[in-house]
Amino acid sequence: MVRYVYDFAEGSRDRAGLLGGKGANLAEMTRLGLPVPPGFIITTAACRAFFATGAEPDGMSREVSRHLSALEAAAGRRLGQLDDPLLVSVRSGARFSMPGMMETVLDIGLNDASVLGLAKASGSERFAWDSYRRLLQMFGSTVMGVDAARFERAMATLKENRGVPDDAHLGAEDLAQLVESYKSLIRVETGAEFPQSPAEQLRRAILAVFRSWNGVRARLYRRREHIPDDLGTAVTVQRMVYGNLGPDSGSGVAFTRDPATGRPGLYGDYLPNAQGEDVVAGIRNTVPLADLEQLEPGSYRQLLKHMRTLERHYRDLCDIEFTIERGTLWMLQTRVGKRTAEAAFAIAAELTDEELITPDEALARVSGDGLARLMFPRFDTAAALDALAHGIPASPGAAVGAAVFDSAETVRRAAEGQQVVLVRQETTPDDLPGMVAAQAVLTSRGGKTSHAAVVARGMGKVCVCGAEELTMDIEHRRFTTGSGTAVEEGTVISVDGSAGTVYAGAVPLVDSPVMQYLETGRQPTGAVGAVARALERADGVRRLEVRANADTPEDAARARRFGAQGIGLCRTEHMFLGDRRKLVEEMILARTDTERERALDALLPHQRRDFAGILAAMDGLPVTIRLLDPPLHEFLPDRTDLAVRIAAAEARGDQPDPHDTELLDAVGRMHEENPMLGLRGVRLGLVVPGLVAMQVRAVAEAVVERTRASGDPQAEIMVPLVGDVTELRLVREEVEGVLAAVSQESGVPVRCPVGTMIELPRAALTAGRIAEAAEFFSFGTNDLTQTTWGFSRDDVEAAFFSAYLDKGVFDASPFETIDRTGVGRLVEIAVVEGRSTRPDLKIGVCGEHGGDPESVHFFHAAGLDYVSCSPFRVPVARLEAGRAAI
């Protein structure tokens, strides 16, 4: 018999898959002896069963009743009991935290009669009516589908009529009146009455929470966070405690450390006389948690103690929700808190020093994505103009964009390619699409724990919140600064999420401190020191080597500073461009062998110089040089341009330039319907005489030059786009011939390993044969992805990738993260078969996937020797290679 319901006392944090994170952690806190209002959890399995059949699973409601009875017995009151009702909350909570993305209904059990009982039993009419109007509002919108804004408007109207600034100033009679308007609002909007039966309220709320798993916001959030769609949410039913019972009550949220910097200390917001959802919603301005010491000294001390207990128990930064009911503290939620990248590194280092976690655990807690974020540039504050406003630095980074005042417009402009900053008084979960589309989020209300701050931090998006000097005029789509400057929609502003400052215009950018450290290697301090420690640890444990893709001495030098252990891919293409184009044209247009040889001979010294420079920058480390890959006509002028030029000359009555005519002719001859699958890669080398020989000679002579200069050149020659071992054998013969010739001429022995790219499915499938002729493999995963899927990257990304992501065909673009099941399978086959032919075969990857965190973990598991990526991704790859190894 499957069980669908568990009491708090039965759960623990390691059961988050079944009980949801919120439920599992409530159970954990209960076990730790912290003051948690009692309750029970309906499992995610029940939710999945509900979605599978469209109905409550068999036996679930019986189990719920049984647990409810136990809750009632312990409380000595029944749900909705007329003279003294027990009230409960019905809370969502999935395995992975999705803050504010699903629904929760508070104060279940109130109705027209029990509200009077609650008033009498508590001695506060205001509290009873306030709770009832909250229930109507939440139940009406979440369960009955009334637009939440309708309730807010009714509340706003009432406040205006009474001339009061916020809901705390509304009295019992006002709130009783509000209850009447809410009830009629529900009646008018839905044609149905608010259900008076507590049992019906409970049942419907549970199902509504199940359904909120598939709400628009929740789905969007999951896609963005790569959370699977089929996990389902658990539902927690918990006895209510009341933060709205008067001035000695209240609700708050807190972090055990600063989630923005990781610094230890108490961070949080508190709101007297309020229920929990008010705190994050920014309904009223909260007070800093430190003020609680004066307001409720006893609760404050206890809270500190519980927070220490939690941090030591979870061995990590925790965030918590709490409520104080008439001087008594209750813990309502905890979880390992979201944090900025900077805080993640700082906390990991600090907890290691406190010996709460091991260095490997510390490494597991930071990420390559986080490191990449810390490498982004910062604003050059010296060059910044006057600040428009200061707010709370909620999520760090520098962003520039046009100020826009609503989510839909943000999405629209971003889709047109504009950079946008979403500006709101405060954000709600409905703003999520705009937050995703924006470069940054700016709000005039709310603290570090407000919705805007929490969600932006989770997404790594720049955010300044609580910029209180700004007056928002959403209706006229502008805001006014403290000094009276009006900023209209569309005005470009700069948002500094690290300092909490907003500037007019686009402020120029400078290197971040982490980038300065990587560039100079200077002894780091503070937060950068924590990054350096993580990288050091990663370097100590990783098995994968990290190389860089670099085509110039400058890039090679930077890659080396960033820790690259060689070059995995040096493309020769760019060496054929620029002022050498002329020589390349001559080579392509050559009619005789002598003409072609002359052109190739002219290219040779240029190539040699380039190679010598790169070998010098990477002295002592391997440099893998790939022979020319793209189709030759890419080096000729555009066909249309030429045709237009010729037509224009003819129209003027002039004779067209004979060179143009010749070029057009050549372009026509070489035109390919599908150049990606045409005459390129090794095929070029096999049909254009002398092309391979010239490039290899340039490499070999550069090696000689470096050797004579007492260098230690380690060039490797890589043949692209091989599909059959014979192609490689033929090219290799030519390569070996040139190497031998240069060795002989110079008297300097030149030995370069020769290998191939594996970038065609046929190469992967015949890797055992190809390894007979290859000393190394390098997976060209960009082309391998194109050829395995039959996608032309340039054509498909804009055409249908977003539809494929929406429909769940992919979780991520296969060009960003390696497709493990398809392309990855080819990689695995080629590794195994290549090594069975040649056990010491060196194997790497040089596609863009080499710098993608998830892909790095795959390449580690597949047994590769190295990954190669762009210089800027080298530190990221080092870190992730370390994380993959622990």
Short-list 258, 219, 532, CA closest to 395: 258
User: Rounded to the nearest whole angstrom, what is the least distance from the CB of residue 87 to Mg ion in the complex?
Assistant: 18
Q: CA 74 to CA 882: how far, in whole Å?
A: 51
Closest CB to ligand ADP among residues 107, 585: 107
**Structure-block tokens of residue 194:** 């608010």
Integer Cα distance of 129 and 121 in angstroms:
13
Q: Which residues, 50 to 89, sit near ligand ADP by CB under 6 A?
A: 89
Pairing of strands 567-571, 622-626: parallel
Q: Does 240 participate in binding ligand ADP (rule CB under 6 A)? A: yes
Is 574 assigned a catalytic role?
Answer: no
For 615-631, b/e burial (b = at least 16 CB within 10 A) is bbbbbebbbbbbbbbbb
Determine the distance from the C-alpha atom of residue 253 to the mean position of all C-alpha atoms in its chain, rounded to a whole number.
25
In 10 A of CB 272, how many CB atoms? 22
**Pattern 744-783, Mg ion, x by CB under 5 A:** ---------------x--------------------x--x
User: Is 121 or 765 the residue whose CB approaches ligand ADP more closely?
Assistant: 121
Shortest reach from residue 780's CB to Mg ion, in Å:
4
Closest CB to ligand ADP: residue number: 276
Q: How far is the CB of 259 from ligand ADP (least distance, A)?
A: 16
Output the six-digit token pair for 797: 């990304």
> How many residues of this chain interact with ligand ADP, rule: CB under 6 A?
17
Q: Which residue, 138 or 518, is less far from ligand ADP as judged by CB?
A: 138
CA 140/CA 133 separation, integer angstroms: 10
Of 752, 846, 849, 860, which is the active-site residue? 846
Q: Is residue 45 part of the contact set for ligand ADP (CB under 6 A)?
A: no
Identify the bridge partners of residue 402 per DSSP, sorted by sequence position.
420, 492
Q: How far, CA to CA in Å, does 11 sit from each of 6, 213, 321? A: 7, 22, 19
Alpha carbon of 677 to those of 629, 631, 759, 826: distances in Å?
A: 12, 10, 12, 19
Interacting partner of 332 out of Mg ion, ligand ADP, none (Cβ under 5 to 8 A depending on kind): ligand ADP
Residue 241 interaction partner, one of Mg ion, ligand ADP, none, beta carbon < 5-8 Å per kind: ligand ADP
Of residues 748 through 777, those in contact with ligand ADP by CB under 6 A are none
| Residue 240 interacts with, from ligand ADP, Mg ion, none (CB under 5-8 Å by kind) | ligand ADP
Candidates 237-245, 352-360, 455-463, 521-529 — which segment interacts with ligand ADP by CB under 6 A?
A: 237-245
Tell the smallest beta-carbon distance from residue 22 to Mg ion (Å).
Answer: 7
Report how far residue 328's alpha carbon sits from residue 352's, in angstroms, rounded to the nearest whole number: 35
Which residue in 93, 41, 100 sits closest to 231, CA to CA? 93
Among 5, 154, 206, 241, binds ligand ADP (CB under 6 A): 241
| Secondary structure E strands in 518-581 | 545-549, 567-571
User: In the bound complex, what is the minimum distance in angstroms from residue 738's beta carbon to Mg ion?
Assistant: 23
Under 8 Å between Cβ of 727 and 686: yes
- C-beta of 759: minimal distance to Mg ion in Å? 5
268 lines the binding site for ligand ADP (CB under 6 A): no
Per DSSP, the residues of 248-317 read T-EEEEEEEE-TTT--EEEEEEEEES--THHHHHTSS--EEGGGHHHH-HHHHHHHHHHHHHHHHHHTS-
Catalytic one of 67, 390, 451, 633: 451
- Shortest Cβ 49–Mg ion spacing (Å): 25
Residues 316-355 that bind Mg ion (CB under 5 A): 333
Question: Could you tell which of ligand ADP, Mg ion, none binds residue 780, using a CB distance below 5 to 8 A set by kind?
Answer: Mg ion
For ligand ADP, give the closer residue by CB, 100 or 497.
100
Helix count (H) and strand count (E) of the chain?
Answer: 35, 31
Whether 628 contacts 636, CB under 8 Å: no
**Nearer to ligand ADP among residue 89 and residue 572 (C-beta):** 89
631 binds Mg ion (CB under 5 A): no
Pattern 665-684, ligand ADP, x by CB under 6 A: --------------------
Distance in Å, CB of 815 to Mg ion, minimum: 13
| Residue placing its CB nearer to Mg ion in the complex, 20 or 272 | 20
Q: Rounded CA gap, 717 and 720, in Å?
A: 10
By C-beta, is 100 or 250 nearer to ligand ADP?
100
CB of 332 to Mg ion, least distance (A): 7
The span from the CA of 596 to the CA of 149, in Å, is 75
43 or 97: CB nearest Mg ion: 97
Distance CA 364, CA 123 (A): 52
Among ligand ADP, Mg ion, none, partner that 232 touches (CB below 5 to 8 angstroms by kind): none
Nearest approach in angstroms of CB 238 to ligand ADP is: 4
Q: Are residues 879 and 860 in contact, defined by beta-carbon separation less than 8 angstroms?
A: no
Given Mg ion, ligand ADP, none, residue 323, with its beta carbon under 5 to 8 Å by kind, binds: ligand ADP
Distances (CA, A) of 374 to 361, 512, 531, 660: 20, 7, 9, 50
Q: Which stretch binds ligand ADP (CB under 6 A): 114-122, 270-278, 465-473, 837-845?
A: 270-278
Are the beta carbons of 827 and 777 closer than 8 angstroms?
A: no
Contact assessment for residue 42 and residue 237, using Cβ atoms and an 8 Å cutoff: yes
Assess 601 for contact with ligand ADP (CB under 6 A). no
Binding of ligand ADP by 276 (CB under 6 A): yes
Partner whose footprint covers residue 261, from Mg ion, ligand ADP, none (CB < 5 to 8 Å by kind): none
50 touches 230 (CB < 8 A):
no
| Amino acid in position 533 | R
Residues 6 or more apart in contact with residue 638 via CB below 8 angstroms = none
277 binds ligand ADP per the rule CB under 6 A: yes
Which residue, 142 or 367, has its beta carbon nearer to ligand ADP? Answer: 142
Task: Kindly write out the interface string for residues 781-800 of this chain, putting x where it contacts Mg ion by CB under 5 A and - elsewhere.
Answer: --x-----------------
DSSP letter at 338 equals P
Out of ligand ADP, Mg ion, none, which partner does residue 553 contact, by CB within 5 to 8 A per kind?
none
272 binds ligand ADP (CB under 6 A): no
Cβ-closest position to Mg ion = 783
Of 421, 454, 152, nearest in space to 279 by CA: 454
Q: Which stretch binds ligand ADP (CB under 6 A): 192-200, 274-282, 344-352, 484-492?
A: 274-282
Question: Which residues touch 426 (CB under 8 Å, ≥6 apart)?
Answer: 281, 282, 443, 444, 445, 446, 450, 451, 452, 465
Please answer whether residues 377 and 510 qualify as being in contact, where contact means their C-beta atoms are separated by less than 8 angstroms.
yes
91 binds ligand ADP (CB under 6 A): yes
Map residues 314-333 to x or -, x wherever contact with ligand ADP holds by CB under 6 A. -------x-x--------xx
Mark the segment that binds ligand ADP (CB under 6 A) among 144-152, 232-240, 348-356, 726-734.
Answer: 232-240
309-326 CB burial, b ≥16 within 10 A, e <16 = ebbebbebbbbbbbbbbe
Nearest approach, Cβ of 239 to ligand ADP (angstroms)? 6
Residues in contact with ligand ADP, shown as a per-residue x/- string from 332 to 361 under the rule CB under 6 A = xx----------------------------
**What are the Cα distances from residue 99, in Å, to 45, 221, 360, 440, 760?**
21, 9, 28, 19, 44
Smaller CB separation from Mg ion, 125 or 759: 759
857 is catalytic: no
Helix/strand/coil for 465: strand
Binding site for Mg ion (CB under 5 A): 333, 759, 780, 783
Binding site for ligand ADP (CB under 6 A): 37, 89, 91, 100, 104, 106, 238-241, 275-277, 321, 323, 332-333
Just list the catalytic residues.
Answer: 451, 846
